[in-house]
Every structure is written in structure tokens, then in C-alpha cells.
């Protein structure tokens, strides 16, 4: 594993020794301790292939085929945005809102990607219904797989829609993790993001707020009275996002909350 660690370090991978151990465990199928024993040739070949891929900065979850989200796992696939810790915090906030609602709440997950948010919401309320939409066929296929894996088909509907374009219903709760990277920021993104995440899931336009403007402008038409919308935003977008929300007729009590690292990360508003 020493050579693998060196190769990863030379490629700029952080915590290279730890990643080399994780890649070896993935190649072996378990975190086996093979000290003093010969590494099976098939394991050695697979390990070298995994190290080479990670050195090209392929995200580890894509190599593993899944990632953890809250207290469960979701499958990930190339071309589908990989959920991040910030979105887990978005889910936690949404679950608090969902659990405060009366029986049979309805929630909408805009731009569902892997379906992680939709699965989290459905697991939180067994009497609720979740509509998860995305415009990407790859994302929809991945989301369907994850919904099936958690046996939530009866309570999570997957639908192709460009934001609200194919949504006619109204909801108690809307959640979204839209694209919010400003175009000028793309060169500074980590290679794992810049090279392997779908551009459509990242590109928020010149100022990173294009998707947010669309979502907030139409949200009041799809929120029930007193309903809540929660949107993940960029770390420096708080003031601008708040200004947009406060100009939307039908939205009130708009505020921005910080994530665990102290960055402004979540826009929350309610429908009149």
C-alpha cells in the first residue's frame, strides 16, 4: 500500500495513506489484515486499478458505488451529483419541519439527484408522501434505484420535471439543493467536482443564483398556506438570496441559517 499512497499523494489527494487503505479494503472486499500473507493477484490488480482511478481524482464514492447519507446509504452513479455533508444538514432541518406537521404531510424534493433527500424525508414520516423531481434521466434512474432499495415506492413518486414544469400539486414542504456555483468559480473547484460532477448540477449562472430565482418565484404557487421552503445556497450568497426571497410575493419570514462550519448555507421561508 506504500506505493499506492505515494501515487495518491503525488496526484494531490489529501490523506493519501488513509485513502490507500480504504482502496485496498475496497479491492479486497473487506478491511482484511493481510500482513504476513501474499496478496491474491486479483486483489492486487483491482487495487492498482482503483489507485490509478483515484489518482485521476475520480471521487471515492463513484469507485465504491455508494455513499453514506445521514444513517443510510445511497447508490451513486457517474453523471449524478454526489450528496455532500451540507445537504445532510439540509435534510436534518427539513425533517424537523416535517415532523412538526399534521398527519399525512406532502413534500417536494426539487432536483432530487440520487434521491437522498426524498428517501430521508420518507423515512422520517411513514404517513407522508414525497414527490421527487429532476430533469436528468440519469438522476431519475439513480433515484428510483435508491427508493426501491429502501422499499419506499409507495410513498415516494419519481417524476421528470424541470423544476416545477411538470408539477401541479401543492405541498407542506419544499426542499431543494439547486446549482449555486458562480461560473467564475469553476476553475477553483476541486478536480473531483470540476471533472466528475455533472455541470448542470453545479452551474448557477453568472452569480450562482439563477436556479434560486426560478425556484423562489414559483414556490408560492406550490406551497400550501403556512408551508415551508428550504434551499441550500452558496457560502457567500446569504444576503443576495435573502433579498431575492423578500421580493417574492407570497413568501414571508425569510431567513438564512448557518451550517455547522459557520457558513451561511440555508435559505428558509414560509408561504403566506
Answer yes or no: is 79 within a domain.
yes
Q: What is the distance between the alpha carbons of residues 221 and 237, in angstroms, rounded to a whole number?
A: 24
Q: What is the distance between the alpha carbons of residues 110 and 162, in angstroms, rounded to a whole number?
A: 9
Q: How far is CA 23 from CA 26, 64, 84, 179, 220, in A?
A: 5, 9, 20, 30, 47
Instruction: Domain count for the chain, please give it.
Output: 2
- For 191-238, how does the pLDDT look when each residue is reduced to its tens digit (9 = 90+)? 999 999 999 999 999 999 999 999 999 999 999 999 999 999 999 999
Answer yes or no: is 166 within a domain.
yes
| Torsion of the alpha carbons at 269, 131, 144 and 97, rounded to the nearest 10 | 40
- For 143-189, how does the pLDDT look when each residue is reduced to its tens digit (9 = 90+)? 999 999 999 999 999 999 999 999 999 999 999 999 999 999 999 99
CB of 266 closer than 8 Å to CB of 232: yes
Domain boundary among 56, 77, 98: 56
Instruction: Kindly report the pTM of this predicted structure.
Output: 0.94
Whether residues 51 and 78 fall in one domain: no
Answer yes or no: is 212 within a domain.
yes
Whether residues 126 and 22 fall in one domain: no
Answer yes or no: is 61 within a domain.
no
Whether residues 190 and 106 fall in one domain: yes
Q: What is the distance between the alpha carbons of residues 174 and 223, in angstroms, rounded to a whole number?
A: 7
Residues whose CB falls within 8 Å of the CB of residue 182, separated by 6 or more in sequence, listed in order: 204, 205, 206, 207, 208, 234
Whether residues 48 and 74 fall in one domain: no
Whether residues 87 and 125 fall in one domain: yes
CB of 118 closer than 8 Å to CB of 106: no
Whether residues 37 and 114 fall in one domain: no
Answer yes or no: is 13 within a domain.
yes
Whether residues 7 and 76 fall in one domain: no
Q: Which three cell numbers stand for residue 195?
A: 471533472
Answer yes or no: is 41 within a domain.
yes
> Average pLDDT in the 239-249 region?
98
Answer yes or no: is 266 within a domain.
yes
Whether residues 40 and 151 fall in one domain: no
Catalytic center residues: 81, 177-178
| Torsion of the alpha carbons at 122, 96, 82 and 199, rounded to the nearest 10 | 110
pLDDT at residue 29 in the model: 87
- For 112-134, how does the pLDDT look when each residue is reduced to its tens digit (9 = 90+)? 999 999 999 999 999 999 999 99
Neighbour count for residue 1 (Cβ, 10 Å): 14
Q: Which three cell numbers stand for residue 49?
A: 486499478
Domain boundary among 38, 56, 74: 56
Reduced to 3 DSSP states, what percent helix, strand and coil does the chain have, rounded to the nearest 5? Answer: 40, 20, 35
Whether residues 205 and 245 fall in one domain: yes
Range of the domain at 51: 2-56
Residues whose CB falls within 8 Å of the CB of residue 46, separated by 6 or more in sequence, listed in order: 27
Q: What is the distance between the alpha carbons of residues 75 and 114, in angstroms, rounded to a whole number?
A: 7
Whether residues 125 and 191 fall in one domain: yes
pLDDT at residue 103 in the model: 97
Whether residues 149 and 225 fall in one domain: yes
Domain with residue 104: its CATH number is 3.40.50.150
Answer yes or no: is 186 within a domain.
yes
- For 2-12, how does the pLDDT look when each residue is reduced to its tens digit (9 = 90+)? 889 999 999 99
Whether residues 167 and 121 fall in one domain: yes
CB of 107 closer than 8 Å to CB of 98: yes
Amino acid at each position: 500500500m506504500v506505493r499506492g499512497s505515494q501515487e495518491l499523494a503525488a496526484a494531490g489527494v489529501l490523506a493519501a495513506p488513509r485513502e490507500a487503505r480504504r482502496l485496498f479494503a475496497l479491492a479486497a472486499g473487506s478491511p482484511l489484515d493481510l500482513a504476513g500473507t501474499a496478496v491474491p493477484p486479483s486483489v492486487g490488480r483491482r487495487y492498482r486499478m482503483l489507485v490509478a482511478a483515484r489518482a485521476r481524482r475520480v471521487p471515492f464514492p463513484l469507485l465504491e458505488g455508494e455513499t453514506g447519507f445521514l444513517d443510510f446509504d445511497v447508490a451513486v452513479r457517474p453523471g449524478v451529483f454526489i450528496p455532500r455533508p451540507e445537504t445532510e444538514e439540509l435534510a436534518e432541518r427539513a425533517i424537523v419541519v416535517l415532523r412538526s406537521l399534521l398527519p399525512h404531510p406532502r413534500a417536494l424534493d426539487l432536483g432530487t439527484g440520487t434521491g437522498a433527500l426524498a428517501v430521508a424525508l420518507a423515512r422520517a414520516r411513514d404517513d407522508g408522501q414525497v414527490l421527487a423531481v429532476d430533469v436528468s434521466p440519469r438522476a431519475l434512474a439513480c433515484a428510483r434505484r435508491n427508493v426501491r432499495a429502501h422499499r419506499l415506492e409507495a410513498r415516494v413518486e419519481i417524476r421528470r420535471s424541470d423544476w416545477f414544469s411538470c408539477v401541479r400539486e401543492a405541498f407542506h414542504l419544499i426542499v431543494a439543493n439547486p446549482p449555486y456555483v458562480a461560473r467564475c468559480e469553476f476553475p477553483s473547484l476541486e478536480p473531483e467536482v470540476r471533472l466528475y460532477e455533472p455541470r448542470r448540477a453545479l452551474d448557477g449562472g453568472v452569480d450562482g443564483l439563477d436556479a434560486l430565482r426560478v425556484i423562489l418565484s414559483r414556490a408560492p404557487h406550490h406551497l400550501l398556506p403556512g408551508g415551508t421552503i428550504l434551499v441550500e445556497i452558496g457560502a457567500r450568497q446569504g444576503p443576495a438570496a435573502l433579498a431575492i426571497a423578500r421580493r417574492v410575493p407570497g413568501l414571508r419570514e425569510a431567513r438564512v441559517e448557518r451550517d455547522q462550519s459557520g457558513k451561511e448555507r440555508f435559505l428558509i421561508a414560509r408561504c403566506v
